[in-house]
Amino acid sequence: MEFVIATITLIVGVLLGYVLQKWIIKGRSVQAREDAERVLSDAAKHSETLKKEALIEAKDQIFRMKQEAEDEAKERRKELTALENRLGQREENIDRRADSLDKREHTLSSVQGQITKREKELEDMVVEEKHRLEHVAGMTSDEAKAVLLNRVEEDVKHEAATFIRETEARAREEAAKKAKNIVGIAIQRVAADHTAESTVSVVHIPSDDMKGRIIGREGRNIRAFEQLTGINLIIDDTPEAVVLSSFDPVRREVGRITLEALIQDGRIHPARIEEMFNKAEEQVGQQVQEAGEQAAFDTGIHGLHAELIRTLGRLKYRTSYGQNVLNHSLEVAHLASVMASELGIDQKLCKRAGLLHDLGKAIDHEVEGPHAVIGADLARRMNEPAAILHCIEAHHGDVEPQTVEAVIVQAADAISAARPGARRETLESYIKRLQKLEEIAEAHHGVEKCYAMQAGREIRVMVKPDDVDDTNSVILARDIAKQIEDEMEYPGQVKVIVIRESRAIDYAK
């Protein structure tokens, strides 16, 4: 019985559970359907709202675009209106100018008519006046012209004869001078001068141990020596020798004497270096003075300024390709005197100019410029005559020689420098320098011929006139000079002359 009751209860429970489950499922489906319908309704409402908003936004944008287009159209209309106003004003101005030009043209026509009338009246008056003059003079205009021409011809013949006589007399007076010039120019063609100076002196020492003493502790001795003398003391691996280097030959000589005295004395320290330097400076100064005075005495030249004598003495320590410049100056003075005697011109002037011609080499390391110009400036400050100054500054062609004396000094300088054994320069190096000069010039466009002259101190370049005009000639000269500076080593300076010549040729048949 209990089993039956339990079974019935279980069956009833299962049925109730099934009924409840069906009821719950049905309720949920109804709820889901309602939720779906509500979602669809909300989506429809939202899409309608978005559609309306998009429509409103599109209308606003269309309105704004329409407003901007209207504003732009208004601005364009304003610009067109302003442009029309300006065009209208210009048309009015043009009309007014046209009216003014018409009036001026009318006025000019009237004035032209008056001028033509006046010219006709003047022509008539000239003809009438001519007739009156012919009547008064008793001859026609052609006859009057003939008489006037005869008188002018007689006057011209007289003046020509007078001029010819004066020219012949002047030519006879200057014949001797011109002959001397010709001889001087012929001598000048031997000119060949190049300069180079020695810038080092070698001092021999008893042993290499002396090098350490010369340098001193922490280099104090060598610093004191270089500071006092103003020269560089080079101590290297060369056995038993040290080198003094300086562009100033007098200062280098003072340093040499100072160092030799220190080595001989054996005591080398800053105080002793200063003492020996002062003694050496006094000794060299005395030697310079004596050398200058001896040079003036040997040439018989008097009245030289004391500064010029000291400068001459400094040349004792200057060399050019191994040739002592003071001895060279003495040679030039004697050569110039001999040539002047042969030509019958002022011997004293030529000898004085020959002795002083290389003054600038004594101070060319202190002053910028060619030594000929430097020497002339120094002599000018010492009140030397203008003729002497011209000989000095013209002896290397820095200034064109204008006197026979200048040419004589130039030639004597060249003879002294070029004589066999005077200088160390070899013929081969000399020829190579000239060839290099010509090669540089010939490499430029438009160059027809070129010649190295004055022993390489001048290069003359002939150009083709059709390829190089006057302006390009100046540029070509500068380019050649710049290339010579960059590619060659040479003493002094090189003058570049570009010559452009045009020729017109025709034949009479």
pLDDT digits (tens, 9 = 90+) for 204-239: 888 777 888 888 888 888 888 888 888 888 887 777
- Whole-number pLDDT of residue 186: 42
- Between the alpha carbon of residue 155 and those of residues 151, 166, 168, 169, 323, the distances in Å are 6, 17, 20, 21, 66
Confidence of residue 468 (pLDDT cuts 50, 70, 90): confident
Site of tokens 């003058």: 495
Instruction: Determine the pLDDT at residue 509.
Output: 66
Q: Which pLDDT score is estimated for 168? A: 67
Please give the pLDDT value at position 163: 73
Cα–Cα distance, 403 to 380 (Å, whole number): 18
Q: What is the pLDDT of residue 196?
A: 39
| Selection from 251, 250, 249, 263 nearest residue 203 by Cα | 263
The answer to whether 390 and 167 are in contact (CB under 8 A) is no
Residue 188 clears pLDDT 70, i.e. is over it: no
The pTM of this model reads 0.47
Q: What's the confidence (pLDDT) of residue 214?
A: 82
pLDDT of 185 higher than 60: no
Residue 181 confidence (pLDDT) above 60 = no
Using pLDDT thresholds of 50, 70 and 90, give the confidence band for residue 190: very low
Half-sphere exposure of 200 (CA within 13 A, CB side): 8
What is the number of alpha carbons within 13 Å of residue 298 lying toward its C-beta?
18
Return the bridge partners of 493, or none.
Answer: none
Average pLDDT over every residue of 138-145: 70
Task: Choose among 454, 467, 456: nearest CA to 491.
Answer: 456
- The encoded tokens of residue 130 equal 């001519």
Please check whether residue 231 is in contact with residue 365, taking contact to mean a CB–CB distance below 8 angstroms: no
Res 182 pLDDT > 60: no
Question: Nearest CA to 108 among 119, 116, 98?
Answer: 116
Treating both helix axes as pointing N-terminal to C-terminal, what angle do 306-314 and 325-343 enclose, rounded to 10 degrees?
120
493 in helix, strand or coil? coil
| Lowest mean per-residue pLDDT among 80-89, 176-185, 462-471 | 176-185
pLDDT top residue among 159 and 112: 112
- Tell me the three state secondary structure of residue 86: helix
What whole-number distance in Å separates Cα of residue 171 and Cα of residue 187?
23
Residue 490's φ and ψ, nearest 5 degrees, are -155, 150
Q: In this model, does residue 319 exceed pLDDT 60?
A: yes
The amino acid sitting at 452 is A
pLDDT band at 189 (very low <50, low <70, confident <90, very high): very low
pLDDT surpasses 50 at 187: no
Neighbour order of strands in the sheet with 232-234: 200-204, 241-245, 232-234
pLDDT band at 428 (very low <50, low <70, confident <90, very high): low
Q: Is 507 or 450 the better-scoring residue by pLDDT?
A: 450
Instruction: Kindly write down the DSSP assignment for every residue of 184-206, as one continuous string.
Output: HHHHHTT---------EEEEE-S
- Give the pairing type, strands 200-204 and 241-245: antiparallel
Once rounded to an integer, what is the mean pLDDT over residues 438-454?
86
Each residue's pLDDT tens digit, 472-498: 888 888 889 888 888 887 666 788 899
- Is pLDDT above 70 for 184? no
Across the range 451-479, mean pLDDT stands at 83
* pLDDT, tens digit, 9 for 90 and up, residues 44-57: 888 888 888 888 88
Contact between 404 and 181 (Cβ < 8 Å): yes
Instruction: Please give the structure tokens belonging to residue 134.
Output: 């012919």
CA-CA-CA-CA dihedral for 15, 16, 19, 24, to nearest 10: -140
- The answer to whether 339 and 346 are in contact (CB under 8 A) is no
- pLDDT higher for 149 or 74? 74
CA distance 218 to 68: 90
**Sign of the C-alpha dihedral, residues 302, 308, 310, 312?**
negative
Mean pLDDT of 65-70: 88
Name the average pLDDT for the chain: 80
Q: State pLDDT tens for residues 327-347.
A: 888 888 888 888 888 888 888
Q: By CB neighbour count within 10 A (0-12 exposed, 13-18 middle, 19+ buried), where does 366 fall?
A: exposed
